Structure 1
Amino acid sequence: MVDKSEKFNWLVRVGYFSRAILYSVLGIIALTSASKIAEGTNGIFRAIEDFPAGTAILWLMVVGLVAYALFRLCSPLFDIENNGNDGKGWAKRIGHAGSAVGHLALAYSAYKFASSDPGTTEGGSGGSGGGAQEAASGVLSADFGGTVLGILGLIFFVVAVFQAKKGITGDFMHRISPQAPDATRWLGAAGFLARGVVYAVIGWSLVKAGFMSAGAEQVKTLGDAVASLAGEGLIFTLTAIGLLLFGLFSLVLARYRIIPELDSSAGVPSFRA
């Protein structure tokens, strides 16, 4: 009989596999298809929809991205990765919360494509970041909505800093099995640095929308943030390559990531030294 920890473990691995598909496709279309990257996040899911068994892959991604988001929410809620309650620990946990929000938004976008007839997807009718902008518009219409969006933007800045730090220091390797391929360190370094750039762009879009009253149309999702870099020459190319490598890195994690026990009585996760 499979216990809840083993089920949790497999769900998280499906999440990493879904993330591998997402970032690999994003990197490829950024490097090869100007028209699709101009569509932002919709371009990613439209490309996947065109794959053989594309709808089935999209449904897998819906499940996987939600699972990954819930895994990240376990960090601020239960500290399953033992980051601690000091300032540094909470900064990491808040960063994980921001990652959870972002991946839930991506799961929703995947769901819209998976549940629609090919070629008639709602996501294509409202602009590349329509879903996120609609949600942001709803938040802005509430009391203190601008403050909420602005704070979310600051959280994304925190995430961006930690992504870059991970890439430079390589401390992400402490949570990966020693059996992982030797190239894992460099795949992760390139991927985390690229993600740091993208998360900073998303954070800035939320800060502008929330604190500077620039409007919900400023809000960018993952694909939109990459598309906004398209005129930046070498920065865009290096970011696109880094995101593609992050997809390969996520595929390694789907197999070799050490998943903490869901049961709090299991103690501190046994991460690699």
Structure 2
Amino acid sequence: MNRLRRVETFARLGYLARGIVYVLLGYLAFASSRAKSPSNVLAEIKDMSAGEPILLLVGIGLAFYGLFRLYGAALNIDGEDKDALGIGKRIGHVASGLGHMVLAFVALKAASGSATPAKEGGDRSGEAASFLLSLPAGEIILALIGLGFLAAAAEQAHKAWTGKFIHELDADTPHSAKFLGHAGYAARAVVFAVIGWNIAASALSGNSREVGGVGMALEKLRENPTVFTLVAIGLFLFGLFSLVMARFARICDEDVVTRLKQSLQS
């Protein structure tokens, strides 16, 4: 089935690219004891030997992952319910897809030599938040975005606690992947929680200065060196887990095939 092959290709290449970004994100934050953002990681890749070809491949992979998230949300390959929670999860997948597409655009533009990632992909969350706050009911919109990140943090924490992510992997996946997943999802939960809290607080205060992405969240966590170090290690391990997903993710299981067939008939 062509659709199934496309989904699998998008997913595996995307997990590979996501793994590279998170491994470098965690490593650079841990090694330098400084907060890093995904855009900083792309800048570091560009400065490497043969950095531009690597950046090109990473950009393509991130674009594929974004397409996988968008495609998967449209076809509901995760089998989410049609209630408010299920719809919310699918909207979250769309947001993830769009975010990775933006990061892919930054990477590909940098690989072509027409931009520097740290500048092109700089954290403009504050500008976006300021624009939202200038709109009617902008505080409400910003608060809902913050709540969305907090909900995502709760979902990541639930995955870390229950280990249900293991069901997304093939039976022959190395046992060590479970530890990588527990640590990685826990770290992501902390980062998403900080981002969501900052956005919600900004909505209440009407001040966009506290709004930021991963880089600003890590900067906040630096106030507690122990937590910062643990989160940096966790992000590195999540990168390794993503690399495992690139090889062992259960993308073509029977449930996915059934849902794709249903989408073709509808």
Identify the TM-score tier after normalising by the shorter chain. 0.7 to 0.9
Q: Say if 2:191 is the partner of 1:193.
A: no
> Aligned residue for 1:30?
29
Deviation of the 1:114 alpha carbon = 3.0
> Aligned residue for 2:79?
82
> Aligned residue for 2:126?
133
CA distance in 2, matches of 1:29, 1:200: 21
Deviation of the 1:192 alpha carbon = 0.2
> Aligned residue for 2:234?
242
Residue among 124, 127, 140 paired with 2:119: 124
CA contact (8 A) 1:20 1:251 kept: yes
> Aligned residue for 1:45?
42
Deviation of the 1:101 alpha carbon = 4.4
Q: Aligned in 2, Cα 1:100/1:210: closer, same or farther, shift over 3 Å?
A: farther
CA contact (8 A) 1:80 1:264 kept: yes
CA distance in 2, matches of 1:139, 1:63: 31
Residue among 57, 62, 67 paired with 2:59: 62
Q: Aligned in 2, Cα 1:185/1:122: closer, same or farther, shift over 3 Å?
A: closer
Deviation of the 1:111 alpha carbon = 4.1
Q: Aligned in 2, Cα 1:102/1:146: closer, same or farther, shift over 3 Å?
A: farther
Secondary structure of the equivalent of 1:181? coil
Residue among 257, 261, 266 paired with 1:266: 261
CA RMSD of aligned residues (A): 2.7
The count of residues paired between Structure 1 and Structure 2 equals: 260
Alignment of 1:102-113 (within 5 A): 102-113=99-110
Deviation of the 1:125 alpha carbon = 8.0
CA contact (8 A) 1:91 1:158 kept: no
The letter of the residue matching 2:116 is T
Deviation of the 1:56 alpha carbon = 2.2
CA contact (8 A) 1:113 1:123 kept: no
CA contact (8 A) 1:41 1:224 kept: no
TM-score, structure 2 as length reference? 0.85
For structure 1, list consecutive stretches of 5 or more residues without a partner in the other structure. Answer: 269-273
Residue among 217, 234, 242 paired with 1:225: 217
> Aligned residue for 2:165?
172
CA distance in 2, matches of 1:138, 1:103: 22
The letter of the residue matching 2:52 is T
Deviating more after overlay: 159-168 vs 73-82: 73-82
Q: Aligned in 2, Cα 1:135/1:197: closer, same or farther, shift over 3 Å?
A: same
CA distance in 2, matches of 1:185, 1:248: 11
Q: Aligned in 2, Cα 1:212/1:125: closer, same or farther, shift over 3 Å?
A: same
Q: Say if 2:92 is the partner of 1:99.
A: no
Q: Aligned in 2, Cα 1:65/1:122: closer, same or farther, shift over 3 Å?
A: closer
CA contact (8 A) 1:166 1:192 kept: yes
Structure number with higher helix proportion: 2
Deviation of the 1:77 alpha carbon = 3.6
Deviation of the 1:245 alpha carbon = 0.4
For structure 2, list consecutive stretches of 5 or more residues without a partner in the other structure. Answer: none
Q: Say if 2:249 is the partner of 1:257.
A: yes
Deviation of the 1:234 alpha carbon = 1.1
> Aligned residue for 2:10?
11
Secondary structure of the equivalent of 1:15? helix
Secondary structure of the equivalent of 1:143? coil
Q: What is the aligned-residue identity percentage?
A: 38
Q: Aligned in 2, Cα 1:71/1:143: closer, same or farther, shift over 3 Å?
A: farther
Deviation of the 1:168 alpha carbon = 0.9
